[in-house]
Amino acid sequence: MNTGEKAPDRTVLCVTGADALTFLQGMVSNDVAPLGKVPGIVWTALLTPQGKYLVDFFVVKTPDTLLIDIKSTFADAILRRLMMYRLRADVQITSTDVQVTRGLGQAPVGTFADPRHPALGWRAYGKTGSTPSIDWDAIRVTHCIPETGVELIADDSYLLESGFERLHGVDFRKGCYVGQEVTARMKHKTDLRKGLVRVRITGAAAVGTPILAGDKPSGTLFTQSGDHAIAYLRFDRLNGPLIAGTAQITAD
């Protein structure tokens, strides 16, 4: 049986109160209302009023509880921000010691398929897992899936440039949420000129290395795995010679 492996960099928050789901629905980029009917998992993000990314997380409805599965380094700050927005809503958000486990292959009973991409397998809450051994970065690079705090940069990234529509992290029919107006405008009134793409790389460079087309800034290099990487690039410069430090970048 595939018991999965621990995700030691995740924190689980518990959301309770009569207004818990309604409160989250008005805050996040994706539609979490269906979780009021059946257990499930939704990947979503919290944005600034200007439409910039703050953090992404999973909202999880188990048979008994409503949970937020978030990168640990962001948990305290986001907990404070959510509580600031709470006002008079009947919502309580508390930290827990629930363990996040994730794995590939056949999913054990009671787990949830990662909603971003089938290649990311499944997630479980409260189960005991093994020591991490799966090369998740290789999977992310193969499918151009951004990671919190790496490709997804607080107060800088935009959802549509970061692949949230392709990865089922934003809903355009759910109604208002913080940052919704800017996100909708990018969807319906503009053509994206830059965004995250998978590229080929010859050589190596650190995460955050600027990518240049000649002497023109063209983007930023992020996670590398083998001869491929995730990069944030201007689309009009994909076909020219690109350099990140000493590494050569080409469109995949």
Whether residue 220 contacts residue 231, with contact meaning beta carbons closer than 8 Å, is answered with yes
Instruction: Examine the domain organization and report whether 236 and 136 are in the same domain.
Output: no
Q: Rounded to an integer, what distance in angstroms lies between the CA atom of residue 43 and that of residue 109?
A: 20
Strand order in the sheet with 100-103: 5-6, 100-103, 122-125, 112-113
159, part of any domain: no
* Per-residue burial over 188-221, b = 16 or more CB atoms within 10 Å of its CB, e = otherwise: eeeeeebbbbbbebeeebeeebebbbeeeebbbb
According to the 3-state scheme, what is the secondary structure of 166-188? CCCCCCCCCCCCCCHHHHHHHHH
Are 137 and 232 members of one domain?
no
CA distance 32 to 59: 7
d(CA 139, CA 142): 5
Domain final residue pick, 143, 161, 183: 143
pTM of the model: 0.95
How many domains does the chain contain in total? 2
CATH number for the domain harbouring residue 59: 3.30.1360.120
Place of tokens 């690079």: 141
Same domain, 139 and 202: no
| Same domain, residue pair 139 and 240 | no
What pLDDT, on a 0 to 100 scale, did the predictor assign at position 2?
A: 60
Profile the chain (252 residues) by mean pLDDT over runs of 10 residues. 82 96 96 96 97 98 95 95 90 95 92 97 87 93 98 97 98 94 90 95 97 95 98 92 96 87
What is residue 1's predicted lDDT score, i.e. its pLDDT? 45
Residue 177 falls inside a structural domain:
no
- Give me the pLDDT at residue 162, please: 98
**Dist. CA 180–CA 157, nearest whole Å:** 14
Structural domain range at position 248: 193-252
Whether 238 contacts 250, CB under 8 Å: no
Same domain, 15 and 134: yes
Give 105-153 as a DSSP string: SSPPTT-EE-SS-GGG-EEEES---B---S-HHHHHHHHT---BTTTB-
Note whether 128 and 235 are same-domain residues: no
- Cα angle 70, 71, 76 (rounded to 5 degrees) comes to 80
Longest dimension (CA), the chain: 57
Residue 178: per-residue pLDDT: 94
Residue 157 main-chain phi, psi, to 5 deg? -75, 155
Give the DSSP letter of residue 165. Answer: T
